[in-house]
Amino acid sequence: MILAITQRYGLSEKGSEKYSIDKEFKDIFEKLNVLLFPISSLTNIEKVTEICDGLIVIGSPIDINPKNYNEQPITEVHKMAKEIDTLDFTMIKAFNNVNKPILGICRGIQVINVCFGGSLYQDIPNHRLPLKERHNVKFEKDSFLYDCYNVEQMKTNSRHHQAIKEVAKGFKVVAKSEDGIVEAIENKNIVAVQWHPEYMMDIKFFDYFVNKICNKKH
């Protein structure tokens, strides 16, 4: 299996610009015998959607430009936001158009929601916790999360200051934190979570996506 994965913009220790993914993704998908196909541009996107079995849209410290959901920014928009937004929106639409699975993580859930017409809270309190801290998230029984873990709630990390406000049409909220923040959504071949399962080395989560969603005939 081959999965496309969005690389993220950042700066090296020397200050040079780069695109990369976290090592946790490499380690997890090696164990699952899945080849990751890193994406940092829209070159030959038709070929990418042809050879890849699904798409993973990962997190980023760069916020989505609020103008994409018809709001004025409350803070300065990052210089790379337009480029990253365009990459994410285009890739999501391309894979959705050919009915291939999409997984969103952190910024990924947010950009998926905006891509299909939803909106975001530009800033929320109490969710940018230290990496090792956990908070409780409750699952809906009829959901990919419940099917994956067979529990109604679990502890997850929380490393974000934005979250879904209006849920995009057609999407179902399948998890919330105890303060009501949307933590997961799904719609047909698209699933997305607000936390970072890769930082938890949650093989079970990614194995479920690969074997139950990517291998499902849509």
- Which residues participate in catalysis according to the annotation? 106, 196, 198
Burial group, residue 165, by CB count within 10 angstroms (0-12, 13-18, 19+)? middle
Beta bridge partners of 120: 164
Decide: helix, strand or coil at residue 191: strand
Asked if residue 194 lies in contact with residue 182, where contact means CB atoms within 8 angstroms, the answer is yes
Which two three-digit tokens encode residue 61? 């410290």
Asked if residue 174 lies in contact with residue 186, where contact means CB atoms within 8 angstroms, the answer is yes
Query: Distance between CA atoms of 131 and 170, rounded to whole angstroms?
Result: 32
Query: Distance between CA atoms of 110 and 130, rounded to whole angstroms?
Result: 20
Asked if residue 210 lies in contact with residue 32, where contact means CB atoms within 8 angstroms, the answer is yes
- Residue 161 one-letter amino acid: H
Rounded to the nearest 5°, which phi and psi values hold at 43?
Answer: -65, 130
Which two three-digit tokens encode residue 38? 């890193």
Distances (CA, A) of 169 to 48, 56, 85: 27, 21, 20
